[in-house]
Structure 1
């Protein structure tokens, strides 16, 4: 029986890793095409970025409503359709006759993509028993970083050698293969209680998830984690493109590989969460991120690269621990609602703090951005310890 459970958990771990790769590769791969869209369609860079921002926005909003459907139809079914349809839509992108049709497809793609991340954490919380949840959650989070990196590399490389249409078709076909594997191999839910589809259930679930003070703290942590992460990587090109580095945009683009090298953080801290409390582990992750951010103030490129790696590792470790905390706090009936709200705050943090970082850069340079990031990391530490003492006092 134990061997069967171990084998099942390994299958779930691999499938969720692939599902995460598909979701975030599709979501972020158009980032590398923004300048190409601007040149091809004769539009401003701001408008050319719409395929990325519109998909992220509709994904975040959709996640609020996916939970009630998954309660009625099941977690796996919705995740499977999310991955399959998003992959097919990615292939259809190549046949867009104009930019606005492309944006429309991306809008629908964001809605479809919302079905996977909104339910992944809930599925894992329901199906993984014992102390293995933290490790497998860490692998799932690592898949999101790897997917975002893979999507950028595949699309940018093929666009350079062939065309952007060939690039998005290739990404769509690769995603479709992984989605079929996910469909065939992911075990059906064994600890899922089907509920009647109703708006009343959605209201009750949202009320429970939104007015739980412990969950509010976790939502705040998610908001800050992605917010400071995006702020750093959004604006790191500014100090690196100036003296004394004078790096080209192509070389700066390769710095995204440090987001990938940071995936060891989510896996390692996921393993550690099987033995130790989440709060002190989050503090340790924050130390990694804080040290990494300070190292980017260096005038030596090697030191900055080390800083980016530590910062990415700290972020991915902290996010995997915080997102896993949602499933620990809330009862199984309401986990899908709490997970969707966590991710809504998470992506909202990306938009709000990612934009705010530009103001700090203009007013105080790169030191101003690091001060903003440091403040965000300090607030996460306060939220984490507050949650730890609240949980301890309620026992």
Structure 2
């Protein structure tokens, strides 16, 4: 096999393309997150119902990931990812002109369908095309793009909402996604180590059956649900805290706070490298402990302490996610595309389900309830890791 080697021109362009892929995906999915309080107010719905603007997207995304991987086997990794990114940009632009909340939810659900072509396939592309010695670093770059996408989407949403309105905000982000999709298509090298083949349902079922027979891998995949569930439960309702007394912050300020995603951009690369050196089980446990510590910091009243807590929490999450992603692909053998799909199925189901459940904790127990829910999820991660690392 011919792998992409570190230091080459191809490596630089491929890494940049994957960075753009992560950026577009997360910007499209989570750009509405800081707007949830506005949706709740403008459309007269509860926090839990408003959160469906995120949950519908991630829920449909989770299901469609199971189809995206075998489609990439048949039609090619790059081709499916390029089509997915352009359709994501188009749906994002349409969302900006949605006439009401129901239409908004339908378009956000459709976004979940079309965006599914990027996440699982991007991870598989990394494992198949890059030199194995740099997998942690390259996966970290892709996750770094995800963190920067989450940050820029939220930041632009807040800024444009204050300057104009939320429709202009979604339109601007859709246009950015379109530009980056063009660059992705140009920069990403055609895959050399994955051959297309006829889509056979029996073969697909057989591949998934093989994966489910590997109990430790399936348990490891459940980390996606735990990590993303806790992350989105916290972030969905943090904007509600910031808009209430005594803070009463503007949308621009709330959007600017998401600059803390830069901590995730750094940690996904840094912790990925540390995992290559110290081992994935050890470093993912450290990352989750960092998440829990950050969550506890947000319980303190001063705004500065809350922001510090969010930074710590974000650093831990993206480190844990980049390591878990690489670990799943490493353990999957010849079924990497399907394993990536299952990991991300769990990942986005965690976002959809736990993100919505967090709304009930917010309504009943306010921020203390949300953080308690997140900490319980983090606690479940440790027995999962201990079981998964056994040989």
Common fold: TM-score over 0.5:
yes
Q: Distance in 2 between matches of 1:241 and 1:39?
A: 12
Tell me how far 1:294 sits from its aligned partner.
2.4
1:100 to partner: Cα distance: 4.3
Unaligned ranges ≥5, structure 2: none
Alignment partners' CA distance in 1, 2:240 and 2:94: 35
Query: Aligned pairs, how many?
Result: 386
CA distance in 1, matches of 2:4, 2:75: 30
Pair 1:247 & 2:253 matched: no
Q: 1:90 to 1:351 in 2, by over 3 A?
A: closer
CA distance in 2, matches of 1:180, 1:266: 25
Aligned to 1:133: 135
**Structure 1 residues 105 and 323, CA gap change in structure 2 (3 angstroms):** same
Q: Tell me the SS of whatever aligns to 1:233.
A: helix
The superposition leaves residues 47-77 of structure 1 with CA deviations (integer Å, 9 ceiling, x where unpaired) of 5554433222221111011111111111111
Change (3 A) 1:238 1:111: closer
Classify 1:156/1:295 alpha carbon distance in 2 versus 1 (closer, same or farther; 3 Å): closer
**Equivalences for residues 153-168 of structure 1 within 5 A:** 153-168=155-170
CA 1:165–1:35: 2 relative to 1, 3 Å? same
Kindly tell me: are residues 225 and 97 of structure 1, through their superposed partners in 2, closer, same or farther at Cα, counting changes over 3 Å? closer
Equivalence for 2:338: 337
2:282 is the counterpart of 1:280: yes
In the TM superposition, what are the counterparts of 1:297-336 in structure 2 within 5 Å? 297-332=299-334, 334-336=335-337
**Cα drift, residue 193 of structure 1:** 2.6
Give the alignment of 1:1-395 within 5 angstroms: 5-7=6-8, 8-34=10-36, 42-45=43-46, 49-97=51-99, 99-236=101-238, 246-250=246-250, 251-252=253-254, 254-332=256-334, 334-360=335-361, 366-390=367-391
* Cα deviation, residue 308, structure 1: 1.6
Q: Aligned-pair distance for 1:271?
A: 1.5
- In 2, the alpha carbon distance for the partners of 1:362 and 1:34 equals 14
Change in CA separation of 1:10 and 1:24 when aligned onto 2, cut-off 3 Å: same
Q: CA deviation at 1:384?
A: 1.5
Partner of 1:393: none
**How many Å separate the matches in 1 of 2:41 and 2:241?**
26
RMSD across aligned positions (CA): 2.7
Contact kept, 8 Å, 1:263 with 1:312, in 2: the verdict is no
Q: Relative contact order (alpha carbons < 8 A, sep ≥ 6): 1 or 2 greater?
A: 2
TM-score, normalising length: structure 2: 0.88
1:135, 1:273 within 8 Å by CA — same for their partners in 2? Answer: no
- Which sections of structure 1, spanning at least 5 residues, go unmatched? 391-395
| TM-score calculated relative to the size of structure 1 | 0.87
Judge which range, 20-29 or 292-301, deviates more. 292-301
Question: Once the 2 structures are TM-superposed, how far is the Cα of residue 134 of structure 1 from its aligned partner?
Answer: 0.6
Name the SS of the counterpart of 2:234 in structure 1: helix
Cα distance, 1:49–1:292 mapped onto 2, change above 3 Å:
closer
**CA drift at 1:153:** 2.1
**Distance (Å, rounded) in 2 between the aligned partners of 1:361 and 1:36:** 16
Residues 144-188 of structure 1, C-alpha deviation per residue, up to 9 Å, x if partnerless? 121122112223322332344433332222111111111111011
The higher radius of gyration belongs to: 1
SS at match of 1:114: helix
Tell me which moved more, 310-319 or 137-146.
137-146
Name the stretch that deviates more: 162-171 or 16-25. Answer: 162-171
Q: Is the 8 A contact 1:68 1:201 kept in 2?
A: no
1:37, distance to aligned residue in structure 2 (A):
5.1
User: 8 Å contact 2:158–2:256 — kept in the other structure?
Assistant: no
Give the direction of change, closer, same or farther, for the CA distance of 1:28–1:296 in structure 2 (3 Å limit). closer
